[in-house]
Amino acid sequence: MSNQWTSGIHDRKLKEEICEIGRRVYNKGFAAANDGNISIRVGENEVLCSPTMICKGFMKPDDICAVDLDGNQIAGTRKRTSEILLHLAIMKERPDVKAVVHCHPPHATAFAVAREPIPQCVLPEVEVFMGEVPMAPYETPGGQKFADTVVPFLKGGTNTIILTGHGTVTFGKSLEDAYWKTEILDAYCNILLLSKQLGRVTYFSENETRELLDLKKKLGFDDPRFHVEDCDLCGNSAFRDGYKEGIPQQKSFEPAPSYPGYLSKPSTQTTPTTNNGNSDHLIKAITDQVMSALGK
């Protein structure tokens, strides 16, 4: 599958790529029935997209339609999906984004439904290829208000967003690039849930985390933590300015240890403050549980 994007709303090869990604999404169980939608930008003001009310596993090139960046349909016999506005909001805010995949991968969507932020500093591949996954607030899907929920979280380095109570949206330089982010995220969320069944997740030490971020920078990948001096490397805080009602707090997983941001001077700590070593987090967790019980 080509990583190049070609101008032209009648490019059959790109339509076939959309259908191929649709088959992958459907076969992986990321989209039941008519769920999900897929798009790729093919010009200054043209975007190919999957139509509404069609199973993504059985699309044909002739089913694919086209819209302009304002959401007006400009080609295709099938009606465009209402959720294309989400894709267009991302493309307008991020000119580097050429393709968007929205679907409901079950393990990642479980975090969206539970409103549980995705822990960081657990798996090397996720730190390098994804980084922090912000959670856009809930809004009824389909309208501009829904599309606008992701805008505060689109600063440099973001490629994956949890849609609270709904699903996920991933984006990148090509259709395949955008799709891979969905697959990585759902596999990671599955690992997190399995680890929780075993009892806990173990976080990387500060040095281990910095080594992974150094590798990420050398590979040419961006990350919001590269730009926010006082964010926490593992604390899901690089997008804090985007949250109007406060940063989502982990409830099912113990909070990650606190390490200074990438631009800050590293601390002298070399051992991980994990589940049984961070007394402050433990005390806070116990206090919260007691207060919650008293409140009931």
* Residue range 57-96, pLDDT digits in tens: 999 999 999 999 999 999 999 999 999 999 999 999 999 9
CATH assignment at residue 184: 3.40.225.10
Helices 175-198 and 106-114: angle between axes, nearest 10 degrees: 70
Q: Which domain holds residue 230?
A: 206-295
Q: What is the CA radius of gyration of the chain?
A: 20
Name which of 136-140, 258-262, 280-284 the model is least confident about.
Answer: 280-284
pLDDT higher at 280 or 21: 21
Q: Is residue 3 part of a domain?
A: no
| Domain count along the chain | 2
Domain finish residue from 139, 166, 198: 198
Q: Do 180 and 48 sit in the same domain of this protein? A: yes
Q: Which residues are catalytic?
A: 83
Residue 33 placed within a domain: yes
Q: What is the mean pLDDT of residues 94-116?
A: 97
- Per-residue model confidence as pLDDT tens digits over 34-44: 999 999 999 99
Question: Which residues does 107 contact at the CB level (< 8 Å), separation at least 6?
Answer: 186, 187, 189, 190, 192, 193
Mean pLDDT of 153-173: 94
Last residue of a domain, one of 150, 170, 198: 198
> At residue 53, what are phi and psi to the nearest 5 degrees?
55, 55
Residue 235 falls within a domain, yes or no? yes
Q: Considering 175, 198, 221, which residue would you say is the last residue of a domain?
A: 198
